[in-house]
Structure 1
């Protein structure tokens, strides 16, 4: 139903609000449109999956994205200090060093005639290493963190069947056990890192684990997905058909590419709210308890809307923009001389969308090796 302020999507089970101005109004009214459902599993969890999670003591009490209570402000303030503008600016050299090293390695492989996956080769690890540096966390198995993150996103925002849910629940339980171990260690010997700060704040173990669970996912995996999407747009929007002379030039200004990606194809295109009382979106009346799905990207709104607005705006917005810009700058020459081997498979979840892989070869390579 085109032009409707809010339309009920039977398949999704949400009232969908795509108009950017209305989405903004919803986000700026957290009393009427509460965040209680922000991190609930989109596909109801099976009994078997719930048993696995329960066995690990898995719990997600209100802390950040799903918190409309009084505890939200102090928790957010404590975490926000790790992402201050000065701290974010200070990690640009590290971001550039990590990304440049991976671009150089990818370029060498391409020169040797290999196919390269831009997601795994360049986009995957730097955001994780950078956010861990900002949060003061050492001795973290980054490949495990990446796998846990992707599994958790699918568990809470995907459409897994019961067998797949069970696999994902085991992964989430393993992640949660690691978080509990870090929390226990922080209580015994507090440090000036994320867990130490949260312990000092007086949070329960469950609250600390809940903060860290989604912060360690959102703080790096969504940025990997933003970089991957920006790479994809740079490649597909600058390619000439194979039977025509190449019209490709180096990607445009990196800031412009990042902002355009956020406007049109953010890695977090939607987010959820639920009404606390009967209300209206435009001229559409919604009952109390109505689940709402907000379109944050791809509907003509500003780039900034991709990070939300108001009291729950993404704390890592500045960091994500910096990392995506640096990735494009470091990879500019590489992107100017390669092509995609095929149409990439996608991560396509309720609130997360990005290429799973971006397999490339040099322009002169047939891609058959």
Structure 2
């Protein structure tokens, strides 16, 4: 089936489309290729996990990524204002300040002979702090948000067994409970932040929470993962940061695939697809343009410009650090249906060999 426009993958349970031109065609036709399955659990949730989620009223009604209806446009327009080009450009000094401080701490630790994880030391928190600033949200427990995000990605895009699902469902329920509390507070005292704007739009509690749930994950965790991959690509090199960003987006974006489902029987290329056929689009790593990593059409990523800016800034701030370090292990990966990046990047300065690093000699 190599070279076919769409091939059915028995293991994944999707019609896989890797050709960038066809992926673009699918994304530009949301009537035929609907986004209804975009945020559904890849692995069907167990009864126990569903009970935990239903206990907090967890719901994902159509709002942004999974919405092709009439309500999509006003919700998207309301959220897009937070990510306008002017607002994104204005946040660069904050991103630079956050990264500079963390690079300085990591550099000091490396100089003292310590082993440093670049993901946790630098890449993890700045994207969250930046997006929270843009959305006007304060008093947020950032480590909790990061943990909730990773657990939610695994729950909805991973292959957890029933025991792991139950554990992840409890964490997702905590996150959703926090979103409900913020929604309630916004109804009682409206503010000009994300929750206030969504409440003012007339959305239900479930719709507000659904927007918040996936936006607060996508708005920062995918950027952390993009930065982590860019750091990995940059170790020991002198490539310009902006070039690295585009290279990673073309070849190894943190969101390499995305889902659609056919509304009716249709033909893609010369392959006939039945109605309700789940489709998995390859967005990166198949010779397409870097911009395809963010999608195209009515569901294009609202944070595309922000992700590019934050990744470039992180690379610029860490450029000197990245030239004189080496990995102490093969990086373990976040490897989910639609998310992929190094889980950690353990480094020491070249010439420093801690006991637990012996035996691994990476090429970089």
Per the normalisation by structure 1, the TM-score is 0.96
Give the Cα separation in 2 of the matches to 1:288 and 1:59: 25
- In structure 1, the residue matched to 2:192 is 192
Is 1:353 the counterpart of 2:314 in the alignment? no
- In structure 1, the residue matched to 2:161 is 161
Is 1:43 the counterpart of 2:43 in the alignment? yes
What is the number of equivalent residue pairs in this alignment? 356
- Provide structure 1 residue ranges, at least 5 long, that are not aligned to the other structure: 239-248
Give the Cα separation in 2 of the matches to 1:207 and 1:44: 22
RMSD, aligned CA: 0.6
Q: Quick one: which of 272, 276, 279 aligns to 1:285?
A: 272
Give the Cα separation in 2 of the matches to 1:132 and 1:47: 34
Is 1:274 the counterpart of 2:261 in the alignment? yes
Q: Residues 216-259 of structure 1: CA distance to partner in whole angstroms, max 9, x if unpaired?
A: 00000000000000011112xx4xxxxxxxxxx5x311111000
Deviation at 1:47, TM superposition (A): 0.1
Give the Cα separation in 1 of the matches to 2:355 and 2:132: 38
Give the Cα separation in 1 of the matches to 2:333 and 2:9: 22
Aligned-partner SS, 1:280? strand
Deviation at 1:368, TM superposition (A): 2.2
- In structure 2, the residue matched to 1:224 is 224
Deviation at 1:269, TM superposition (A): 0.1
Deviation at 1:77, TM superposition (A): 0.1
- Provide structure 2 residue ranges, at least 5 long, that are not aligned to the other structure: 357-364
- In structure 1, the residue matched to 2:121 is 121
Deviation at 1:367, TM superposition (A): 2.8
Spell out structure 1 runs of 4+ moving beyond 6 A: none
- In structure 1, the residue matched to 2:208 is 208
- In structure 2, the residue matched to 1:242 is none
Give the Cα separation in 2 of the matches to 1:18 and 1:303: 14
Per the normalisation by structure 2, the TM-score is 0.97
Give the Cα separation in 1 of the matches to 2:316 and 2:217: 24
Is 1:314 the counterpart of 2:308 in the alignment? no
Aligned-partner SS, 1:172? helix
Is 1:262 the counterpart of 2:249 in the alignment? yes
- In structure 2, the residue matched to 1:64 is 64
- In structure 2, the residue matched to 1:341 is 328
Q: Quick one: which of 342, 346, 355 aligns to 1:368?
A: 355
Give the Cα separation in 1 of the matches to 2:316 and 2:2: 39
